[in-house]
Structure 1
């Protein structure tokens, strides 16, 4: 009789333990399903930029994740490129969270998550300057070219929004300023001519993309932030 009672107690305990643990397992499963990688966040912001630009007036063509060759068999990637009849716009997107601090002159900027946790990252202004130099080498000195640094909705950006006449820094929700910029500019770019030059470079292979990622890791190591 004692053995039967002991068995029933153990069985009951296991049932209670199972029901207590089950919701916890469900929570873990939900958390894992909702995890979003840095690459996915970056892709989301790039797509949001493209969606916005697609609604702008005028004649233009858009390129996303556009690879340009550099010396020594290296490549650089432009997140979003817009060839517009009013000018060339090179977009560098950063879908970061936290407070963003930096200036046009700093080599590195800071992401601040709390009073005790900061993270440095390479200046997106300098990063985009590299893209623009590579683009200029590819298509020639076509003017005007504008550098546009775009942060996601979850960032608090403590940076001068227009540090130079050809550099703009904003959040995705502030991209509407482009309507005013385009309205103020004359039509001065041959979109078709530049598209003819750039279209062949869209055939970048997966091998090229992987080599580009390897070059970033070799250059910046674990400090690289896309």
Structure 2
């Protein structure tokens, strides 16, 4: 019995730490896809009731490699490049810090600042849609899951329950319906084919460049 108790004392912290690591330092899991699916559902409902369009899982060539974007929302009021994150626990964040901190049961680990992560996505979309003023294309980070920020939430970072109202109030440009459709066509034309091979090649590029899978 004593050996069983000792084993549990050793294993439980490892399991908890592994759970935290699982949520932050890995390729896309079922949990991340669940978060993206929830955002997709909200954007679907928004676009069905408007002239807006959105694209999911968009891989674009950019500079010396590729960049993978969770969602792009194209509206008559501007364009949103959206990065989705699914986390649990407590989050400590600052807009300019290279890394943020997640805490689960007093165990801590770092993860890449998703605002900075989304900057490359934003630059790739602005480069492709260079006929638009750059400030008409903005970035947004959406957190799903039950994570709580223990610091002030940085600008352009929201919880998923606030996404609908954020999009309703979003104003950063004025695009005609024809221009909206043209932007959608340009993105659809230039995105790489959505295949498992595309994802494998993109992950291989990230590992060559960074040693880890930072999208």
TM over 0.5: yes
| Structure 1 residue matching 2:175: 3-state secondary structure | coil
Q: Which runs of 5+ in 1 are unaligned?
A: 1-35
Higher relative CO (CA 8 A, sep ≥ 6), structure 1 or 2?
A: 2
Shift of 1:138: 1.3
| 1:90-146: CA deviation from partner (whole Å, max 9, x where unpaired) | 11111011111111110111111132x111111100011110101111121524122
> After the TM superposition, which residues 53-68 of structure 1 pair with which residues of structure 2 at under 5 Å, given as runs?
53-56=43-46, 57-68=49-60
Q: Call closer, same or farther: CA 1:118–1:219 in 2, change over 3 Å.
A: farther
2:92 counterpart of 1:104: no
1:175 aligned partner: 163
RMSD, matched Cα:
2.5
2:206 aligned partner: 216
Shift of 1:41: 0.8
1:80 aligned partner: 71
2:185 aligned partner: 196
Q: Distance in 2 between matches of 1:162 and 1:112?
A: 18
TM-score, normalization: structure 1? 0.72
How many residue pairs get aligned? The number is: 184
CA contact under 8 A between 1:160 and 1:169: conserved in structure 2?
no
TM-score, normalization: structure 2? 0.76
Q: Distance in 2 between matches of 1:198 and 1:58?
A: 19
Q: Distance in 1 between matches of 2:43 and 2:93?
A: 26
2:137 counterpart of 1:148: no
- Give the greater-gyration-radius structure (CA): 1
Shift of 1:173: 1.4
